[in-house]
Amino acid sequence: MTMKYVATTCPYCGTGCSFNLVVQNGKVIGTAPYQRSPVNEGKVCPKGTYAHEFVNREDRLTKPLIKKNGTFEEATWDEAYDLIAEKFKSYKPDECAVLSSARTSNEENYALMKFARGALKTRHIDHCARLCHASTVAGLAASFGSGAMTNSIGDIAESKCLFILGSNTFEQHPLIGRRVAQAKKAGAKIIYADPRYTATGKQADLYMQFVSGSDVAILNGLMQEIIKNGWEDTEFLKNRVKGYEELKATVMKEDYSLENVSKISGIPVEQLKTAAEWIGTAESAAILYSMGITQHTVGVDNVKSIANLQMLTGNLGRPGTGVNALRGQNNVQGACDMGALPVVFTGYQKVIDEAAHKKFADAWGFPDGISEPKNGYEVTVMMDVLTDNPGELKCMYIMGENPMLSDPDLTHVEHAIKNLEFLVVQDIFMTETAELADVVLPAACYAEKDGTQTSTERRVQMWRKAQDPPGEAKDDWKIIAEIAAKMGYADQFAWETAEDIFNEIAAVTPSYHGMNYERLNRPEALHWPCPAEDHPGTPILHGAKFAHPDGFGVMHAIDWKPPAEVPDAEYPYVFTTGRILFHWHTGTMTRRSATLDNEVPTGWIEINPEDAKDLGIKDGETVKASSRRGSIIVPARVTKDIMKGVMFMPFHFKECAANILTNNALDPIAKIPEFKACAVKVEKITEA
């Protein structure tokens, strides 16, 4: 018997914890603590603890599948590649769309981005960051010149005041929650605002329950109170930012008096006053936020408002401060960094910038050029185009994503995907989306390959191969390179290892220039930007100046707008969605983990006891929940943890898919959908 430990990085949330995979006779059989990671210091949450359980499941995809007469049949790789290459070559560039994946490595996202732009020559590439933090990328880029978490996870513990808004940190990012607990133990004040009294709320010194969709009003109200009391940082405002007078004119309006904000948000005036005082007078104050902020039709406004508050109080560029956007998936930061977006190449180099376009065209050397220097479609727009203008988009290549469960208004998504002429899905399991594909390609999972991923704190960390993939499954990047070779582009994808790809990434990406596997292959790894091989990396952004060319931060005067769909007589409740401790996204992996699935085997809808009484619904009873887009049957959980008038559902469960109900109304800039607020009704199911 042989046994070894292989240190790797967790494939679930964006925290980037490390652990050891325990390998016996060539198979992953467990996990064990890896004490040397500065991120989690040997601790992991339940998802990390059981991250081995899905790896050797019997239902892993092991052979390429081609659909014939509506049924999948096993095929050879050559048969699958020949079909894909022939089909892809038959379409015009703008008829093709590509979805990359925040679950795969940087190298694989880069490979697919290069494949999309160089082999397919399409502008239409995106991935699920569109659904979680597209507003962060756009909002923080406009405010600070860089669309990423400003500080690092470790220095959250040093803060004297933490304002957590739209993030259930203790369940979604438990090992970041640990830093919050450390800060609290050291005397920090913890403010938590959320429509649900979650595990995070239970840690707070001040819990403010509010109506989903009132964030800008709350933030403007807090800023008004801070300015009225003279708690703003005048030196910071004078020396570091632009736009203060315009911001002040907006937030000082009567609309944002604490009395008015209380009416909009439901938060008592006294609580708002306390929050403003704690934030305004703290030696250091940090904001932690997640999708409660971003997943709105005003997602970009919400993010800019958070940036405004931190600039107003001078809480940037120091330990314990910052705008800490907690990214959802393990590599959503990296997938964005790698240019798996319709507007940028790697490192946010704009595709419409002539010099950047030429740089990539020259570096890649495709003899017949690359995609046009024009922005492409976001995934949400792709779905609308597919339904509203059939025939414009004809084929799609999806790597490791499951829009049939993750995207809003699933009936609309199904309609869109069924309008495709040709769909290729590359994944580790037969997902709800893969079932609709023409060709399914079996991929290796995180435990079966080398590579890197970039966590929410911009830390680029290694995956290390612990076992071989099952059957004929292959690394995603190898599959991409082999399809490219079939299409006549072998030279452009002639990588032998993931490290070869990383070296190419570092060469074309200024913020990764100074990185290589030798430097990353240590517990602390490196935070970008790391522009040179002797640069130590950058755990805290915006220390002396912001990333805008003139070095200034930009404040934006923003007025509050209600959500796209608000309750009315027919659909009288606000509906919001979220995640839970034991499951992750569409459950492709966690629901195949026996331990995690035993803990929470199905979904539910949370109803306040007063609402339940009005509706005649008892705890545990099965109810019908409906929005203008569809209905689902789901067990009711009656709890005072949810605000009266608001209903909540986790979105991981296909048998009661919350996204049947959600609204695909989009933020006009980020094109992120409004998962966090729509209108629903809930009915008792009466026996026929």
Tokens of 536: 């130590």
The CA distance from 647 to 603, in Å, is 13
Q: Which is nearer to ligand SF4, 579 or 676 (CB)?
A: 579
Quote the tokens at residue 378. Answer: 């976001």
Smallest distance from ligand SF4 to CB 564, Å: 31
Q: If binding is defined by CB under 6 A, does position 592 make contact with ligand SF4? A: no
Taking CB under 6 A as the rule, does residue 15 contact ligand SF4? yes
Please identify the residue of the shown chain whose CB is closest to the bound ligand SF4.
48
**Hey, how many other C-beta atoms are within 10 angstroms of the C-beta on 635?**
14
What is the token pair recorded at 24? 């016996």
Q: Does 681 participate in binding ligand SF4 (rule CB under 6 A)?
A: no
Q: Which of 97, 131, 153, 175 binds ligand SF4 (CB under 6 A)?
A: 175
Strand spans (E) along 407-482: 422-427, 439-442, 451-454, 459-463
d(CA 86, CA 230): 67
Return the range that interacts with ligand SF4 (CB under 6 A); candidates 6-14, 20-28, 437-445, 629-637.
6-14
Residue type, 606: E
Which of residues 249 and 594 has its CB atom nearest to ligand SF4 in the complex?
Answer: 594
Query: Minimal distance in Å, beta carbon 153 to ligand SF4?
Result: 10
Q: Nearest approach, Cβ of 57 to ligand SF4 (angstroms)? A: 19
Measured distance CA(192)–CA(434) in Å, rounded: 39
User: Residue 492 corresponds to which tokens in the numbers above?
Assistant: 């452009």
**Region 32-71 residues binding ligand SF4, contact defined as CB under 6 A:** 40, 44-45, 47-48
Laid out side by side, the sheet with 65-68 consists of 71-74, 65-68, 439-442, 422-427, 395-399, 96-99, 125-126
The only residue of 13, 137, 312, 677 in contact with ligand SF4, by rule CB under 6 A: 13
Question: Residue 296 interacts with ligand SF4 (CB under 6 A)?
Answer: no
Q: Does 173 bind ligand SF4 (CB under 6 A)?
A: yes
Contact status: 332 vs ligand SF4 (CB under 6 A) = no
Question: Phi and psi at residue 513, in whole multiples of 5°?
Answer: -50, -40
**What H or E segment, with its residue span, contains residue 305?**
helix 299-312
Closest CB to ligand SF4 among residues 12, 512 = 12
User: Smallest distance from the beta carbon of 380 to ligand SF4, in angstroms?
Assistant: 26
Q: How far is the CB of 599 from ligand SF4 (least distance, A)?
A: 14
**Between residue 132 and residue 161, which ones bind ligand SF4 under the rule CB under 6 A?**
none
In terms of CB distance, is 126 or 171 closer to ligand SF4? Answer: 171
Residue 181: both structure tokens together: 């607990």
Does position 314 interact with ligand SF4 (CB under 6 A)? The reply is no
Q: Which residues pair with 6 in a beta bridge?
A: 21
Within 8 A by CB and 6+ apart from 518, the residues are none
Instruction: Count CA atoms within 13 Å of residue 42 on its CB side.
Output: 3
Total residues in contact with ligand SF4, by rule CB under 6 A: 14
- Backbone phi and psi for residue 463, each to the nearest 5 degrees, phi listed first: -100, 145
Question: Is residue 326 part of the contact set for ligand SF4 (CB under 6 A)?
Answer: no
Spatial separation of the C-alpha atoms in residues 634 and 617, rounded to whole Å:
12
10 binds ligand SF4 (CB under 6 A): yes
Asked if 221 interacts with ligand SF4 (CB under 6 A), we say no
Q: Candidates 5-13, 431-439, 442-450, 530-538 — which segment interacts with ligand SF4 by CB under 6 A?
A: 5-13
CA distance 334 to 354: 24
To the nearest whole angstrom, how small is the minimum distance from the Cβ of residue 17 to ligand SF4?
A: 3
Instruction: Single out the residue of 7, 17, 323, 670 in contact with ligand SF4 (rule: CB under 6 A).
Output: 17
Q: If you compute the radius of gyration of the chain from its CA atoms, what whole number of angstroms results?
A: 24
Shortest Å distance, C-beta 334 to ligand SF4: 14
Q: Which residues pair with 649 in a beta bridge?
A: 577
**Which residue ranges make up the site for ligand SF4 (CB under 6 A)?**
10, 12-13, 15-17, 40, 44-45, 47-48, 173-175
